[in-house]
Amino acid sequence: MMEIDGAPQLRNPVLIAAFEGWNDAGEAATAGVEHLERVWNGESVAALDPDEYYDFQVNRPLVSVDEDAVRSIEWPTTRLSVASLDDRDIVLLRGIEPNMRWRAFCAELLSVAADLGCEQVITLGALLADVPHTRPVPVTVSASDPDQAERLGLEPSRYEGPTGIVGVFQDAATKAGLDSVSLWAAVPHYVAQSPCPKATLVLLQRVEDHLGLPIPMGDLAEQAEAWQHGVDELAEEDSDVAEYVRRLEEARDTVDLPEASGEHIAREFERYLRRRDT
């Protein structure tokens, strides 16, 4: 059972969550929450008891040895941290997709979120898709309030099929009466290895747009550019891959790119103003 000793009184908190595993192509989603923990100085406040939800033959504990030759074991689990900003608090949830008892897993996490006063949940996900690495990363959204997708200028998700813990957690949050938004970045399936900073960057930009809060991006833009150059070089070495990328580019370019729209230009200008004021 996850417990927080002396639950802090938070100011208008929002929960931002990501989970390793099926929902985290290129580790783009969990890298986003990890980035927020770092730049917003998140402090760990609680962790789940992993015995309840994880198969340790699938998610094995890790052994480490410190400089004094003392061995310790780190168990796979899901952790909560809290970041205090100027005028509000952010609850950050980063963990691993559980192997069992998904509904109890979600109920326990949402109970803690309720204790902390969270009324809004943002989940981040990333999936492998037929998209070219040379174009802007597509982001789809599913939301308890359909107007939010329109306000964010994002494409509503029309996915049907198997889901992961992100989909289950968002559904549980909606049924619990929380305002919930799930943002999904599409990662090129031919570049499945981690990390994918380009997808992480765009997810954080969408979080920034949704919350109206400036997020320090550090060197993520440079990492994203280096990632794209690296994939360019790999594609050039294989004519079949280069031809496949070209076909994906043509297919993508036949669609009206949001990056060319007035809504996108307005969002970029608003983002610039937030950063300048900060």
Helix (H) or strand (E) holding 108: helix 102-115
pLDDT per residue as tens digits for the range 79-93: 999 999 988 999 999
Residue 251 in any domain: the answer is: no
147 or 181: whose pLDDT is higher? 181
Residue 180 in any domain: the answer is: yes
pLDDT of residue 13: 95
pLDDT per residue as tens digits for the range 202-221: 999 999 999 988 999 999 99
Identify the CA nearest to 221 among candidates 192, 242, 199, 243. Answer: 199
- The domain that holds 65 is classified in CATH as 3.40.50.10900
40 near 91, Cβ under 8 Å?
no
**How many structural domains comprise the chain?**
1
Instruction: Give the whole-angstrom CA distance, residue 116 versus residue 99.
Output: 26
120 near 128, Cβ under 8 Å?
no
Residue 276 in any domain: the answer is: no
Please state the pTM of the whole predicted model. 0.86
Residue 82 in any domain: the answer is: yes
Region 45-57: mean pLDDT is: 93
pLDDT of residue 189: 92
Give the three-class secondary structure for 242.
helix
Give the three-class secondary structure for 71.
strand
Residue 278 in any domain: the answer is: no
Give the three-class secondary structure for 119.
coil
Identify the CA nearest to 126 among candidates 187, 201, 68, 181. Answer: 187
Residue 9 in any domain: the answer is: no
Residue 265 in any domain: the answer is: no
Q: How much of the chain exceeds pLDDT 70, in percent? A: 87
Diameter over CA atoms, the chain: 60
Residue 86 in any domain: the answer is: yes
Region 29-48: mean pLDDT is: 95
Q: What share of the chain is helix, strand, coil (3-state, %, to 5)?
A: 45, 20, 35
Domain that holds residue 106: 14-218
